[in-house]
């Protein structure tokens, strides 16, 4: 089985993938493939170049990962097969001998930069921020540069992979910094008895439309664990809503509630039922 992650080596996505495979009895049957971007990952699953892909979908500080949400809603017909969460500890990575005063440029993924705003503003207000596709790519570029002008925000694993020093550790704004990852496939998971279901929809442009949709879950006594809005992208002021609920599509109450939601929405897409993550 071919499974992809957001590379290069040393990303938090690879850490999440390793954690996911560690839970799988058949871990030696996986072929691991790194991709440069989330769209490339999801298109690879769609085109059968990958069987599964591990992608970030939500961070406890920065919220939803827009590119993942938009791809799932608009670009690919894929499902969430599993979820997992990992603790994110960001670090300032530099070439040996670099000091804070030397750093003119900070390289990292936008999510990582957003998680470390207080440190950047207080310790590196003079540095220019440059975004790259992943924290590991940032570390890779700092390692390859010929001077000490650059610093990367990334993981300890990335520092080890690219032989960088950790100039400052755990620089994220909040210690409780978790990122939720999902495993994307063409099929979701069988019922386990402890499951979640994800959908995305839009409503008619009328007063109370969203309330009437969400009240369906209340009527069926279904707990909603998450709701997030994203622009619909074809009209200003129009939004789609991502909702996670407790239960599996095969549960009678979930099945009936989703059937009602589908009838009451102007756009509806089922994103999968999968086991709830329980960190051990």
Whether 131 and 253 map to the same domain: the answer is no
Same domain, 79 and 100: no
Task: Reply yes or no on whether the pLDDT at 72 is more than 70.
Answer: yes
Per-residue pLDDT tens over the stretch 228-243: 999 987 778 789 999 9
DSSP class of residue 277 equals: P
Average pLDDT over residues 159-184: 92
Is the same domain home to 73 and 118? no
CATH number of 13's domain: 3.40.190.10
Domain with 112, as residue range(s), is 91-168
φ, ψ for residue 69, nearest 5 deg: -60, -45
The confidence score (pLDDT) of residue 27 equals 55
Pairwise CA distance, residues 85 & 66, whole Å: 17
**Claim to verify: residue 23 and residue 70 sit in the same structural domain:** yes
Query: What are the tens digits of pLDDT across the range 108-151?
Result: 999 899 989 999 999 999 999 999 988 999 999 999 988 889 99
112 and 164 belong to one structural domain: yes
Q: Where are the alpha helices (DSSP H) in the chain?
A: 12-22, 38-46, 66-70, 110-115, 117-123, 135-144, 156-161, 209-219, 252-264
- Answer whether residue 15 is part of any domain: yes
Question: In percent, how much of the chain has pLDDT > 90?
Answer: 71
- Residue 95 sits in the same domain as residue 73: no
Residues 81 and 50 placed together within one structural domain of the fold? yes
Describe the crossing of helices 209-219 and 252-264 by its angle, rounded to 10 degrees: 170
What 3 state SS string does 171-189 have? CCCCCCCEEEEEEEECCCC
Q: Confirm whether 264 is domain-assigned.
A: yes
């Amino acid at each position: 089985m071919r499974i992809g992650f957001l590379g290069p080596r040393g990303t938090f996505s690879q850490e999440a993938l390793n954690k996911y495979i560690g839970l799988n009895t058949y871990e030696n049957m996986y072929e691991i493939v790194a991709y440069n971007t989330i769209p490339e990952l999801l298109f690879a699953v769609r085109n059968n170049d990958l069987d599964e892909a591990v992608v970030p979908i939500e961070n406890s500080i920065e919220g939803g990962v827009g590119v993942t949400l938009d791809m799932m809603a608009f670009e690919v017909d894929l499902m969430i097969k599993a979820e997992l969460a990992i603790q994110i500890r960001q670090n300032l990575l530099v070439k040996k001998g670099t000091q804070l005063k030397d750093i003119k440029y900070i390289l990292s993924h936008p999510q990582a930069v957003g998680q470390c705003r207080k440190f950047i503003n207080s310790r590196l207000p003079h540095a220019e921020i440059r975004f790259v596709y992943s924290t590991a790519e940032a570390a890779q570029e700092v390692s390859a540069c010929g001077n000490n002008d650059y610093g990367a925000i990334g993981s300890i694993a990335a520092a080890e992979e690219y032989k960088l020093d950790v100039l400052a550790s755990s620089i994220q704004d909040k210690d409780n910094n978790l990122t939720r990852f999902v495993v994307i496939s063409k099929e979701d998971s069988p019922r386990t008895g402890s499951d979640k279901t994800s959908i995305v929809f839009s409503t008619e442009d009328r007063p109370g439309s969203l309330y009437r949709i969400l009240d369906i879950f209340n009527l069926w006594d279904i707990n909603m664990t998450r709701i997030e809005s994203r622009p619909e992208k074809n009209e200003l002021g129009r939004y789609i809503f991502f909702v996670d609920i407790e239960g599996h599509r095969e549960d009678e109450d979930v099945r009936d509630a989703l059937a009602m939601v589908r009838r009451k929405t102007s756009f509806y897409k089922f994103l999968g039922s999968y086991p709830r993550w329980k960190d051990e």
